[in-house]
Chain A
Amino acid sequence: MEAPLARSLEFLKQVEAHSSEPVRRCYQCDRCATGCPMVPYMQHAPNELFRLIQLGAKETVLSSNAFWFCVSCYTCSVRCPNDIDITHVMDTLRELSLREGFPPALPQARDFHELFLDCVRRSGRVSELELMARYNLKRRKPFSRLALGWELLRKGRLELWPRRVISLHEIFAPFVSSPSEGRKVEGRKGGRSQ
C-alpha cells in the first residue's frame, strides 16, 4: 500500500465533532484491538482507524469494513484507558461512511437496520415476524430460516399480528428516511477527495 500522507486535521475534527469523542487522545495501546471479538474480520483494528483518522486518511477510513463488523459490544469502550467511547466512534464512522456514499461492506447490515427502523417508524415498535419477512424479501431469500421461524411460531415465541402503537414519522424525519423513499443521502457528496 502507498504510504499515507499525513494531511490536515480536518477529518479528525469532523469525526470528533460528530461523535463528541476525543479520537486524538488515543495513545495506541492496543487494548481496543486485543479485546475486540471482531478484530480478526476487520481490515483495520479500532486503533488503526484512529491513527488513520489522525493522519486524515478519510478515504481509507470510510471505505474500511471495520465499523460494519463491529457488533457494538462496548468491550473496547469500557477498557480504553483514554476514556474514548470507541463503539460510538464506530457508529459515527458507519453513519459518515453511508452519508458520504461509500458502499457498505455488509450491505445486509445496512438493509436490516433500515428495515428495522422502518418498522419502528411506522408502528413505534418492532415486530420480529414482519422484520424478518421484509428482510428475507429484500435479501431475495424469502425462505431462509423457515424452519426456525416455524419452530418459534410453534413454541409461541412469535407474535403474528404486530401492534401499532404510534407512528414515529416526525421523530424520524430529521434523521433517516424510509427505504421506500430512497436513501436520504444518495450518491457521493463532494466526491472522494480528502
Chain B
Amino acid sequence: MSELKHGAVAVVGGGIGGIQATLDLADSGFYVYLIEEGPAIGGRMAQLDKTFPTNDCAMCMLSPKLVEVGRHPNVQIITLASVEALEGQPGNFRITLRQRPRYVDITRCIACGRCIASCVYQDAKFPSEFDVGLGKRKPIYIPFPQAVPLAAVVDPQTCIFFKSGRCPQNCLQACERGALDFTQTERLFSLDVGAVILAPGFEPYDARLVGEYGFGRYANVLTAPQFERLLSASGPTMGKVLRPSDGKAPKKVAFIHCVGSRDLRHQSYCSAVCCMYATKEAIVAKEHDHAIEPTIFYIDLRAYGKGFESLVKRAREEHGVRYVRSMISQIIEIPETKNLLIRYRDDSGSVREEEFDLVVLAVGMRPSTKGQELARKLSIELNQHSFAQTSVFSPVMSTREGVFVTGAFTGPKDIPETVIQASAAAAAVAALLAPARGTRTQAKQYPEELVPDGSPRIGVFVCHCGSNIAGVVDVKAVAEYAKTLPGVVHAENVLYTCSQDNLKHMKDVIREKKLNRVVVASCTPRNLAALFQDTIREAGLNKFLFEMVNIREQCSWVHSDQPERATEKAKSLVRMGVAKARELKPLSVQSVRVAPAALVLGGGLSGMVAALTLADSGFETHLVEKSSELWRDLQELVCIPEGEDVQGLRAKLLRTVRTHPQIRVHTNTTVKEISGFVGNFSSVLRGPQGEERIQHGVVIVATEAYEHKPNEYLYGADARVLTQRELGRALTEGPRVRAKTIVMIQCVERNEKRPYCSRICCAEAIKNALALLQQDPNRQIYVLYREMISYSFLEDLYRRARDSGVIFIHHDEQSLPVVRKENEQIVVTVRDTRLRQEVLIKPDLVVLSTGVVPDPYNEELSRLLKVPLDAQGFFVEAHIKLRPVDCTSHGIFLCGGSHAPGTIPELIAKAQAAAGRAAIILSKGQLEAGGIVASVDQEKCTACLTCLRECPFGAVFINEQGLAEIEAVKCQGCGICAADCPAKAIQLGQFEDIQELRMLEELFHPERMSAV
C-alpha cells in the first residue's frame, strides 16, 4: 500500500447523517466532498415537522446546519450526483461521480422564483417530492424554502422543453440573473479522496404493498411522511390538518403502527422509529387542532430511548392520546363519507367497529434503492435486510476497508442515533487519515485590520436583487435617503450585491472612501451576512463593523401590494441599520492554545474505545479507571448479538489499549479535581502512586451504569430468584443451570422512581433464554413483559426465541406478576392481557430483568465537572437530537452507560462519536474565543451573582476580586446575562444596549436623530 494519504473525504448522502459527518470532518482539518443524489441536501429530516422526543421543529435544528455546510470553506457540495466507481485503497481512493445537469447555474441563481412564476405551466401540476405528493410543483422549482444550495432546478422529465423541444422557455427570459442554462450536460469526473463515508439513508416502506389498508385507493389514508408535511407550517396546507377527500378538518384520527414492519410478508425487522414518530405526530396534530382525537393502534410501544417514555406519558396524560394495543386487519372506506371503518379489540376483548376521519399509516424504514445500488457499485456487502453490513464491534465500518457507513443506511434509526453514528464515522476517518489532516484545507489570509479612527464613515449598499426588491421598493430613493443619514459617506444602488463583481467593487469602495462601517440593505442576513463580513475583512475592516438590513424577505416580498409603504419601511429599516452601525465596535477574537491531550473517565468498553479512537488520531490520552481492571463489566456479559466472540474482543482491545504509545492507563485512580475550560483543563488524578496533575484540552465521561438490584419477587430471599446478569454469569462460569421451567420477569421495579426503559434488558432476556435452550431444548421458558423492546434487527432475535419455544406473555403495567412460595414450590401468577385471565406457572427458576441505574458516583463527577444530571441521574447532553454526545459545557463529552443505556454496538458508536467530537477541538491546536460574547464591566458589577445563576453554559465565574467575569471561550453569546444583570454591567458584543436603543429611537423619531 502506498504511503500517500489524501486529506480529503467523500461523504455520499446529504441527510442529517451525511451533514453531521461532513461538518465534523471539515471542522477537524479535512476537505469534504458532500455528494447528494437530489437537488438539495437535508434528507428526510428536512421533510419532518417536529421531532421526537423533544418535539422541537426539525427545520429550526436542521437549517443552521444546512447553512453551515453551505458556506463551510472546507466543504464542496455536489448535488444531483451519484457515485459510479471507487478505485484504490484506504488513504488513496479515486472516486468517480456522475453529475446530472441542473440547468441552473447555482453561483448565479438567487432563488428569486421569477422563472417559476413565469413557466408556461400556469399551475403547479407535478407531485412535489418534498411534499410527498401532497403538494405540487412546476418543472422548474426550488426544492424547499430553506434548501441548500438555494437555487432553482429544472426537472427534465416534466419540462416541456426537454420533452418536446417546443417551449417558449418563459423561464429563461424571466431570469434576470442569466442563471438558467439549458445547454448543461451530464458530467463524469473523478476526485482523489482518502476515505469514503456512505450515508444514503432510507426510504419509507411503500404503503401500497400493504393492500389491506387501502393506501392509494382511499383518499383519507395517508402515510406518516405525508402527515408530517400536512403538519408542517410550510407544508401544502400551511400546517392545517385537513382531509384530502374534502378539505375538512378531521376529528378522529387513527394511527396504525408497524405498517410493513415486523411482518414476514413484508420486512421482518422493526423499523425502530415509527412508535415514537406516531406518538409525536399525534401530539402535534392535537396541538394544531384541539378537536382532533388521536388513537394509536399498536402491538408493542417501543419507547426505549432517552426521553421517549416521558413523551408517551405526556401524550397519554396531557394530550389525551388514546393507545389501543390491537392490530388492525383491514380498513374499509365508507362510500358516502369517505370515513374509514376500523375494527379493533378493546380492553375487554370485544371487537369494536369505529369510524375515523383520517388514518395515518406508520410506515417502516427500508434501505433506499439508491443506497443498494451504491453498495453494488462500491462492492460493499449488505446484510440480509439489504442494509449495510456492519459488525457488532465496528458499527460504522463497511466490509470494504476505508469505506465507512452511517445513519439509516446501517439499519433503522432515529436522528440522535444517526448523528452519533455520523460523528463516529467521522472519527474513524479522522483516525485513518490522521497523517493527512490539514493537507487539503487552507486557512485564508486576511490583511492586517485597520483600526477605525475617529467618526463613523459608513457605506450603504442598497440591493435591487434584480426586480426582487427593486420591483416593489424604490431602491433609488432608499439609497438617496441613506445619503442623508448622519455618518453615511457613501450610498449606492447595486443590482446584485452578492455577485462576485460587486464584492470586488465593495472592497474597492471601502478602500477608496476609507469606510469604517458597512451597511448592506438586501436579503436576509441568515444566508449572506457571513459572505459580506468576509468581504469587508478582505478589505481590512473588522468583520463586526457590518450591519445587514433585510429589505427583501421582510419587506419587498411581503408588502408587494403596497410599494409606497414598502419603500417607506425600507427607509426606516436602513435608518435603523445606519443608527446601529454608528455604534458598532470592532470585536476581537483571540486564539487560545489547546492542550493536545484528552482525559477519559471510565475504563469500560466505552472508555477504551474512546481512548483508542483519540489515540489513533494522534492525541495523547489519559484513561482513568477507578477499579483495578479495565472493562470488568464484560465478564458478566455473555450473550451478545449473534454470538460474536466478546471475550476475544476484550482481550484484543485490552492489549491494544495497554500497548498504545499514546494511551496512559491509570487504574485504581479517580479524579480529585478538574479546573479550567475547553482547551485548557487541568486535573488532579489520585492513584496508587499518589496525586498527579495533568493538562488536557477535553474530557470524555465514559462511566458506567449498573444493573439495578431489586427488592421484590423474593430476590435475595430465595436462591432460585436471580437477575439476568447473575444468570449470565451462571451460564458461563457457574455449575450447569438445572432448572427446567423458567420464568423471566421484565421491567422489574420500573416505576415512578425509575420510569424509563433501560433499553437492553429485553434483548438480554431473549439472548439468555436462547442460551438456556441451547443447553437444553426441552426447557420451558416464559417471559412476562410489558413491552418487548426488540427494535431494529433485534426483532429477528425475538422471532427466533419464539420459534425456539420461548413463550412471551404480556401483562399490563397495572397488573404486575406475583411471585410466591407454596411449600417450597415457587408459583408465579400473571394476568395475560390477551386471555384477559390469570395464568399460573410453577417455575424452578425466576430471572429478573431489573434494568439499569446510573452510577451513583455520577453525582460527584457532575459537581466536579459542573455538568448537570437528569432526574434519573444520567448525564444531560447539550442537545438530545443534534448534539447527543456533547455536554452543555464546551469541551466535555459523554458516552457509555452513564449517559444512556445501550447495546454494545450502540455504545461503541457513541464512544467513537464522543472521541471524534473531542478530536475536533484537539485538532485545531488553537481555539477562537471572543466575537459575539458577553463581557462584564468590572466597575459596574455589584457581585449579585444573577449572571452566574442564569448563564445556561456556565460561562460566568467569580474572579479574585469577587466580581463576575465571563470566560469568552465558553460564552455562546445568548445575552441572557446581559438582559438580567440588574446593574447593567454586562454588554453583549454586536448587540450592545446602546446599539439597540439607538435603533428604537430612530425607528420612531428620525427628527431626533442624535448628533453623534
Q: Using CB atoms and an 8 Å cutoff, list the residues of chain A in contact with chain B.
A: 1, 3-6, 8-9, 12, 22, 24-36, 39-40, 45, 47-48, 51-52, 54-55, 75-76, 79, 81-83
Chain A, Cβ-Cβ closest to B324: A30
In the assembled complex, the CB of B486 is this many whole angstroms from the nearest CB of chain A, namely 74
| Chain A hits for B842, CB < 8 A | 5-6
Q: Are B265's CB and A83's CB within 8 A?
A: yes
In the assembled complex, the CB of A94 is this many whole angstroms from the nearest CB of chain B, namely 21
Q: A4-B839, A5-B840 are in contact. Are A32 and B329 (CB under 8 A)?
A: yes
Q: Are B803's CB and A6's CB within 8 A?
A: no
Q: Are B810's CB and A83's CB within 8 A?
A: no
Chain B, Cβ-Cβ closest to A52: B835
Q: Are B264's CB and A82's CB within 8 A?
A: yes
Q: Report B79-138 residues with CB < 8 Å from chain A CB.
A: none
| Chain B hits for A82, CB < 8 A | 264, 799
In the assembled complex, the CB of B614 is this many whole angstroms from the nearest CB of chain A, namely 43
| Chain B hits for A4, CB < 8 A | 835, 837, 839-840
Tell whether B834 is near chain A: CB-to-CB under 8 Å. Answer: yes
Q: Would you give 23 A-B contacts (Cβ < 8 Å), ordered by A?
A: A3-B829, A4-B840, A5-B839, A6-B839, A6-B840, A12-B805, A24-B802, A27-B262, A27-B798, A28-B810, A30-B325, A31-B327, A32-B329, A33-B345, A34-B343, A35-B329, A39-B351, A45-B345, A47-B834, A51-B809, A79-B212, A81-B262, A81-B327
Q: Are A40's CB and B835's CB within 8 A?
A: no
Interface size, chain B (Cβ < 8 Å): 43
Instruction: Please tell me which one of the listed residues A1, A9, A30 contacts residue B780 in the complex, with CB atoms under 8 A apart.
Output: A9
Contact count A vs B, C-beta below 8 Å: 108
Q: Are B351's CB and A25's CB within 8 A?
A: no
Q: Are B780's CB and A6's CB within 8 A?
A: yes
| Chain B hits for A6, CB < 8 A | 741, 780, 782, 807, 839-842
Tell whether B886 is near chain A: CB-to-CB under 8 Å. Answer: no
Cα distance, A156 to B630, chains bound together (Å): 89
Chain B, Cβ-Cβ closest to A1: B837
In the assembled complex, the CB of A121 is this many whole angstroms from the nearest CB of chain B, namely 37
For the complex of A and B, list the 9 residue pairs with the smallest distance between their C-beta atoms, beginning with the closest.
Answer: A35-B329, A81-B263, A3-B838, A29-B327, A83-B264, A30-B326, A6-B841, A3-B840, A31-B327
Q: Are A31's CB and B835's CB within 8 A?
A: no
Cα distance, A29 to B344, chains bound together (Å): 11
Q: Are A30's CB and B832's CB within 8 A?
A: no
Cα distance, A170 to B699, chains bound together (Å): 83
Cα distance, A53 to B809, chains bound together (Å): 13
| Chain B hits for A32, CB < 8 A | 329
Cα distance, A29 to B328, chains bound together (Å): 9
Tell whether B793 is near chain A: CB-to-CB under 8 Å. Answer: no
Cα distance, A39 to B344, chains bound together (Å): 11
Q: A8-B780, A35-B330, A51-B835 are in contact. Are A27 and B299 (CB under 8 A)?
A: yes
| Chain A hits for B344, CB < 8 A | 30, 34
Cα distance, A96 to B343, chains bound together (Å): 31
| Chain B hits for A9, CB < 8 A | 780, 805
Q: Are A31's CB and B329's CB within 8 A?
A: yes
Q: A6-B840, A79-B330, A81-B265 are in contact. Are A33 and B780 (CB under 8 A)?
A: no
Q: A3-B839, A28-B810, A28-B834 are in contact. Are A79 and B262 (CB under 8 A)?
A: no
| Chain B hits for A79, CB < 8 A | 212, 329-330
| Chain A hits for B788, CB < 8 A | 27
Q: Report B798-821 residues with CB < 8 Å from chain A CB.
A: 798-799, 802-803, 805, 807-810
Instruction: Please tell me which one of the listed residues A30, A45, A55 contacts residue B807 in the complex, with CB atoms under 8 A apart.
Output: A55
Cα distance, A81 to B256, chains bound together (Å): 14
| Chain A hits for B350, CB < 8 A | 40
- Give the most central of A33, A34, A75: most B CB within 10 Å: A34
Cα distance, A83 to B265, chains bound together (Å): 7
Q: A34-B326, A81-B262 are in contact. Are A40 and B351 (CB under 8 A)?
A: yes
- Give the most central of A28, A45, A82: most B CB within 10 Å: A28
Instruction: Please tell me which one of the listed residues A27, A39, A48 contacts residue B835 in the complex, with CB atoms under 8 A apart.
Output: A48
Chain B, Cβ-Cβ closest to A75: B329
| Chain A hits for B330, CB < 8 A | 35, 75, 79
Cα distance, A39 to B345, chains bound together (Å): 11
Cα distance, A27 to B841, chains bound together (Å): 19
Tell whether B685 is near chain A: CB-to-CB under 8 Å. Answer: no
Q: Are A24's CB and B837's CB within 8 A?
A: no
Chain A, Cβ-Cβ closest to B740: A8
Cα distance, A29 to B330, chains bound together (Å): 13
Cα distance, A30 to B741, chains bound together (Å): 27
Tell whether B727 is near chain A: CB-to-CB under 8 Å. Answer: no
Q: A33-B351, A35-B329 are in contact. Are A24 and B805 (CB under 8 A)?
A: yes
Tell whether B258 is near chain A: CB-to-CB under 8 Å. Answer: yes
Cα distance, A45 to B803, chains bound together (Å): 21
Cα distance, A1 to B840, chains bound together (Å): 12
Q: A79-B212, A81-B264 are in contact. Are A34 and B807 (CB under 8 A)?
A: no
| Chain B hits for A8, CB < 8 A | 780
Instruction: Please tell me which one of the listed residues A12, A22, A40, A51 contacts residue B834 in the complex, with CB atoms under 8 A apart.
Output: A51
Cα distance, A1 to B350, chains bound together (Å): 18
Cα distance, A31 to B807, chains bound together (Å): 19
| Chain B hits for A40, CB < 8 A | 350-351
Cα distance, A186 to B350, chains bound together (Å): 36
| Chain A hits for B841, CB < 8 A | 5-6
Q: Report B338-371 residues with CB < 8 Å from chain A CB.
A: 343-345, 349-351
In the assembled complex, the CB of A38 is this many whole angstroms from the nearest CB of chain B, namely 10
- Give the most central of B265, B325, B741, B788: most A CB within 10 Å: B265
Q: Are A22's CB and B345's CB within 8 A?
A: no
Cα distance, A47 to B809, chains bound together (Å): 12
Chain A, Cβ-Cβ closest to B325: A30
| Chain B hits for A25, CB < 8 A | 799, 802-803
In the assembled complex, the CB of B326 is this many whole angstroms from the nearest CB of chain A, namely 4
Cα distance, A192 to B832, chains bound together (Å): 25
Q: Are B782's CB and A34's CB within 8 A?
A: no
In the assembled complex, the CB of A108 is this many whole angstroms from the nearest CB of chain B, namely 25
In the assembled complex, the CB of B913 is this many whole angstroms from the nearest CB of chain A, namely 33
Cα distance, A45 to B350, chains bound together (Å): 10
| Chain B hits for A75, CB < 8 A | 329-330
Cα distance, A8 to B810, chains bound together (Å): 19
| Chain B hits for A52, CB < 8 A | 835
In the assembled complex, the CB of A54 is this many whole angstroms from the nearest CB of chain B, namely 5
In the assembled complex, the CB of A44 is this many whole angstroms from the nearest CB of chain B, namely 9
Q: Are A24's CB and B803's CB within 8 A?
A: yes
Supplied contacts A24-B802, A32-B329, A34-B343, 18 more A-B pairs, CB within 8 Å: A3-B837, A3-B840, A5-B841, A6-B782, A8-B780, A12-B805, A27-B808, A30-B344, A30-B345, A33-B326, A33-B345, A36-B329, A51-B835, A54-B807, A55-B807, A79-B330, A81-B266, A81-B327
Q: Are B258's CB and A81's CB within 8 A?
A: yes
Cα distance, A4 to B263, chains bound together (Å): 30
In the assembled complex, the CB of B784 is this many whole angstroms from the nearest CB of chain A, namely 11
| Chain A hits for B808, CB < 8 A | 27-28
| Chain A hits for B343, CB < 8 A | 34-35
In the assembled complex, the CB of B259 is this many whole angstroms from the nearest CB of chain A, namely 11
In the assembled complex, the CB of B699 is this many whole angstroms from the nearest CB of chain A, namely 44
| Chain A hits for B780, CB < 8 A | 6, 8-9
| Chain B hits for A83, CB < 8 A | 264-265
| Chain B hits for A54, CB < 8 A | 807
Chain B, Cβ-Cβ closest to A4: B839
Q: Report B280-307 residues with CB < 8 Å from chain A CB.
A: 299
Q: Are A29's CB and B840's CB within 8 A?
A: no
- Give the most central of B299, B327, B788, B839: most A CB within 10 Å: B327
Cα distance, A76 to B327, chains bound together (Å): 12
Q: Report B541-600 residues with CB < 8 Å from chain A CB.
A: none
In the assembled complex, the CB of A51 is this many whole angstroms from the nearest CB of chain B, namely 5
| Chain B hits for A3, CB < 8 A | 829, 837-840
Instruction: Please tell me which one of the listed residues B264, B265, B328, B809 contacts residue A34 in the complex, with CB atoms under 8 A apart.
Output: B328
Cα distance, A126 to B76, chains bound together (Å): 77
Cα distance, A34 to B342, chains bound together (Å): 9
In the assembled complex, the CB of B846 is this many whole angstroms from the nearest CB of chain A, namely 13
